[in-house]
Amino acid sequence: MTASQTANTLAISPAARDAMQRWLTGERALNGASPATIAAYGTDATSFLAFMTHHRAAPQGLGALADISIRDMRSWMAHERGRGVGARSLARMLSAVKSFYKWLAAREGFEPTAVLSARAPKFQKKLPRPLAEDAATAMIETLGTQASDDWVAARDMAVATVLYGCGLRISECLGLTGRDHPLPEVLRITGKGGKERIVPVLPAARRAVDAYVRLCPYPVEPDSPLFRGVRGGALNPRIIQTAMARARAGLGLPATATPHAMRHSFATHLLNAGGDLRAIQELLGHSSLSTTQAYTAVDTARLMEVYDKAHPKA
């Protein structure tokens, strides 16, 4: 915990601090929020409560929190923007505060309208940055040749093939265990929020993993990580990120050619081939279709770029 976070925690009342911890425990237990999400929620809510303590020049017990006004909310948001918090980050912070207030209002019996009616700042959503099909293939092939140890090269190639072939997050891929080998025709993946989904496995992904396992100096055991680091422990995602950074430098690809870009490429290439948007949503494990619809924006953006370059009146 940073000095700033410690100061914020000490600034809020014991009752508010206790309520926040009970809310976070509920988010973790009932909604399956990840440790990273819980940590971010805690930081955002603590920062908000500490601001209200200073802004209103009084400890903010549960009764005082029920009296937060729209003007108070505007002051907090202006304060955050004034210290350099971007629109996207502030929207995330506001979402955490609203979630806490919904929980608190239900238990304390007050009306949270002032907080819940606060509008998040508008921001331009970042579009996914997929690789072209030939670039994705080149990335996988390069990873299969650049490491000095054959088994490490085979491992990196297998990881990239699974990311691209199955549309997994890097954490999901590296979470596979020896029990998942040999890869079946479909994988049952537990993603964000503990949500399960079924993902088909391409023959190319099975072959790549088989080739890696044959060369791996460590035995494949049911409860051990499928993908190993050079010392035999679980493979750190940073290793794959570094390997891809080296590969993209050699291939002249942009900095957006990351492990997560392989997942974006999986979705975009399926969509371009006529894949159903809702089916792709299920494969990616997106809880909202609007998240998956970002890929249609990518496709439209590419179409307009071609139009601008090729149309005779452009």
What mean pLDDT is predicted for residues 123-139? 77
Q: Are residues 177 and 222 in the same domain?
A: yes
Residue 125 lies in a domain: no
CATH code of the domain in which 184 resides: 1.10.443.10
Q: Which of 81, 116, 151 is the last residue of a domain?
A: 116
Q: Are residues 146 and 209 in the same domain?
A: yes
What mean pLDDT is predicted for residues 81-85? 88
Residue 17 designated active-site: no
Q: Which of 58, 81, 116 is the last residue of a domain?
A: 116
Q: Are residues 283 and 143 in the same domain?
A: yes
pLDDT attached to residue 314 = 42
pLDDT attached to residue 126 = 60
With cut-offs at 50, 70 and 90, classify the pLDDT of residue 306.
very low
260, 278, 302, 309: the catalytic one is 260
Residue 122 lies in a domain: no
Residue 121 lies in a domain: no
Q: Are residues 142 and 12 in the same domain?
A: no
192, 197, 207, 302: the catalytic one is 192
Side chain identity at residue 168, one-letter code: L
With cut-offs at 50, 70 and 90, classify the pLDDT of residue 292.
very low
Residue 68 lies in a domain: yes
Residue 286 designated active-site: yes
Which value, in Å, is the radius of gyration of the alpha carbons in the chain? Answer: 24
Q: Among 21-35, 104-118, 146-160, which is the least confidently predicted range?
A: 21-35
Q: Among 3-17, 66-80, 174-188, 268-282, which is the least confidently predicted range?
A: 268-282
Inform me whether the pLDDT recorded for 3 exceeds 60: no
Residue 231 designated active-site: no
Side chain identity at residue 182, one-letter code: P
Q: Using one digit for the tens of pLDDT, what is the confidence trace for 25-67?
A: 888 877 667 787 888 888 898 889 889 888 887 766 778 888 8
What mean pLDDT is predicted for residues 288-298? 50
Residue 124 lies in a domain: no
- Sequence-distant (6+) residues with CB within 8 A of 31 are 193
Q: Are residues 174 and 300 in the same domain?
A: yes
- Sequence-distant (6+) residues with CB within 8 A of 235 are 155, 159, 174, 225, 227, 228, 229
Residue 196 lies in a domain: yes
Q: Are residues 14 and 69 in the same domain?
A: yes
pLDDT attached to residue 201 = 85
169, 206, 228, 248: the catalytic one is 169
Residue 192 designated active-site: yes
Q: Are residues 80 and 142 in the same domain?
A: no
DSSP three-state, residue 276: coil
Q: Are residues 168 and 96 in the same domain?
A: no
What is the residue range of 109's domain? 3-116
Q: Element (H or E) spanning 264, and its range?
A: helix 259-272
Q: Are residues 90 and 142 in the same domain?
A: no
155, 228, 269, 286: the catalytic one is 286
Tokens of 38: 């819980």
Length of the chain (residues): 314
pLDDT attached to residue 307 = 43
* Maximal CA-CA distance, the chain: 69
Inform me whether the pLDDT recorded for 147 exceeds 60: yes
| Helices 277-284, 259-272: crossing angle, 10 deg rounding | 160
Inform me whether the pLDDT recorded for 114 exceeds 80: yes
Which of these, 48, 68, 45, 81, lies nearest to 114 by C-alpha position? 68
Residue 35 lies in a domain: yes
With cut-offs at 50, 70 and 90, classify the pLDDT of residue 267.
confident
Torsional sign, CA 213, 216, 219, 225: negative
Residue 195 designated active-site: no
Round to whole Å and give the CA distance between 167 and 161. Answer: 9
Q: Count the domains in the chain.
A: 2
Q: Are residues 199 and 109 in the same domain?
A: no
Residue 263 designated active-site: yes
Using a pLDDT cut of 70, give the percent of the chain over it. Answer: 78
41, 164, 212, 295: the catalytic one is 295
Q: Using one digit for the tens of pLDDT, what is the confidence trace for 182-214?
A: 998 888 888 776 777 888 888 899 999 999 999
Q: Are residues 161 and 24 in the same domain?
A: no
Q: Are residues 152 and 287 in the same domain?
A: yes
Round to whole Å and give the CA distance between 162 and 254. Answer: 21
Residue 302 lies in a domain: yes
Q: Using one digit for the tens of pLDDT, what is the confidence trace for 219-244?
A: 999 999 999 999 999 999 999 999 99
pLDDT attached to residue 283 = 59
Q: Which of 116, 142, 170 is the last residue of a domain?
A: 116
pLDDT, greater one: 179 or 267: 179
Burial class of residue 33 in the structure, from the number of CB atoms within 10 Å of its CB (0-12 exposed, 13-18 middle, 19+ buried): buried
What mean pLDDT is predicted for residues 92-97? 90
Round to whole Å and give the CA distance between 39 and 203. Answer: 39
pLDDT attached to residue 12 = 75
Which of these, 164, 88, 124, lies nearest to 301 by C-alpha position? 124
CATH code of the domain in which 26 resides: 1.10.150
- Sequence-distant (6+) residues with CB within 8 A of 202 are 165, 166
